[in-house]
Structure 1
Amino acid sequence: MTNLRLIVIGSGPAGIGAAETYRKHQPDAHIRILTADDRAPYERPPLSKDFLRGDTDDVDLHPREWFDEQAIELTLASPVSDIDTARRVVTAAGEEYGYDALVITSGASPTPLDVPGGERALQLRSLSDATRLRDSAGSATSAVIIGAGFIGCEAAASLAMRGLSVTLVAPSEVPQEKRLGAEAGRRIKDLVEATGATYRGGTGVASIDGDTVRLEDGTAITADLILAATGVSPNSEVAEKAGISVEDSRIVADADASTNVERVYAAGDVTKTFNDGAGRALVIEHWQDAADQGEVAGASAAGQQARWSAVPGFWTEIGDAAVKYHAWGDGYDDSRFVERDGGFTVWYSSAGTAVGVLTYNADDDYDRGEELIGAGKPVPAGE
């Protein structure tokens, strides 16, 4: 019987993927997941969609018995306060846990809305956040969503579909203009507004006063519910304090998920990870990519050869519309918008090669785009 011990910090897709993969390669090892969350591991994508709309309560990543079957100890409500890499000991909620390998998948936390009264706005990151938001929506007739990233767009659409009068506020004239381009932003705006929400672009939030959101252009919007979807900040402080290399607030990881500290690995939103396919380090905040990185971390921690090389990608559902995106995620030189029957495709290129594709009702382009991006080939000519 081996006495190998794996500690995983974090219970999101990267953490669960790491634990599950490690178990496959080390069937007799002791595995413990430490998480600050007080809920059993759950899927985050439905929180701004099906769950918020009230269409489902089933968001568990695995049934509780799965953890028993896998012999994975799940320790909830145990935020990690210290990592001693010399002793190989993690301290969480006052308890010490020894490890032979450590995988850090501590994720990220919502960035507070930095305006007077910003603390009054609800947030949407955890299941507890989503439950609070859904409960509040049950007695609300109006809502203001601040921030037009994909979470903001999804939440605005979901609340509008519940019958609330929803205003989505963002500084850009159209959602995601800087990231995806003006034409793509206009189409995303159309999808949001097709659910009944109103997009209010070109102005930021100056303050929140009670139930009133005051915009920088002088407009005041009163709402029963206010949600700030204003991005996230990586939870890297404990790792940095332990001497684990951090750059731009993210743990630096190689393609095999290793860090600068022996037997310490990292994956998911908290990392800046080298991608062999891209040939450079990438910052990715997508669910599937976190799961993929977690599997690499679990395999590497178990002594296997594994590296991250996949082209990052995700789906977003704005109401009933599924928008899909593959990209290296670090910019582009040129974009080309192509109309499709009932949808569209946007091809993104840099130095003549494909670096991204955004699609709506164009799944063939989505799949083709992944291949072109991974191979470093040009975008399709004349399309």
Structure 2
Amino acid sequence: MHIAFVNSTRKWGGVKTWTMDYAVELMARGHRVSAHVRQDVFRERLLEAGADARRAGFGFDFNPVSILRLMAAFRKDRPDVVVCNIKKDMNIGGMAAKLLGIPVIQRVGMPRDMEDDRGVAFLLKTIRPWVLCPSHSVAEGIRRYMPYFPETRIKVIHNAKRPVERITPVRPGPLRLVSTSQVNLDKGHEVVLEALESFPAGSFRYDIVGTGNHMETLRERHRAMAERGDLIWHGFSTDVAGHLAESDVFLLPSYSEGMPNALLEAMAAGLIPVARDIGGVREIWPDSLAGLMLPGESGAEAVRDILGELLGMDRARLDELKEASLTACRTSFSLPKKIDEFERWVRDEVVGG
């Protein structure tokens, strides 16, 4: 099959990580992957992976010039299916595919992405995409906001990763903590930093990988922690795997998530996860790590309690928790198994239905 991805977003987020994972795996199975994207870094990463990635201009919503350009590309390449994200991806890329009779998959990452308004309703009724959700919580959001959308066109395939062969044992010295989410207010970095202020200097190192609109505020507020070396701001990085490999505990205190790719990425790397009980997090959380899940509306005190417990553990116990995390990913969220499911669905229902 030939799968074409369309992505108009300017920043790196979960859907781009998901696209990279799927592109690499699909190409390894002999499928052709093309992509029409706005962000240069994303295009470069896809090119490095072997995909046919092109920079696309999008402009304003329903831009006729952009739609015609994509139609010309699709006519030449003849993809079997076009995969879009939301909003502009759909009103440009999805519309171009619809006008050519090419099936469209809309990959929806968050329930609120489909909050009903006239524009979203128009696209769903006009394009009639197949909707791919990374968790049942996202699918429930679609049913809640879009009760008229056909149930038969909603598909749930959990996000997944290729797990490492074995954990990296916890090394002597400060416990290595890491977050890889965008540094926006809804991602909850603030409660982690507030909790960490309670612990002695040198007992931990917290690496924050990513950038966002709340970053400078937090940098200024916690400058002392950074100056003593307990807090490292890395900004945007294309080597998230490298940062995870150097860490022991992954922190995801977000207040809003669908099915967090970042969490699965950390578990696949054998890190101990600490995350908030929101969205699809519970769908992937193993019973063996139940004590590390934060209540949905908890603040710094709950984070402080869990981190204090981890900081007080010996390395053998921490390694057991890392092993439990990796085992959970390997058992239920292995990427090859999810790609099998995606292939069958696209072949039998989206293209062949």
Normalising to structure 1: TM-score of the pair? 0.29
* Higher relative helix content: 2
Higher fraction of strand? 1
Provide TM-score, normalisation by structure 2. Answer: 0.31
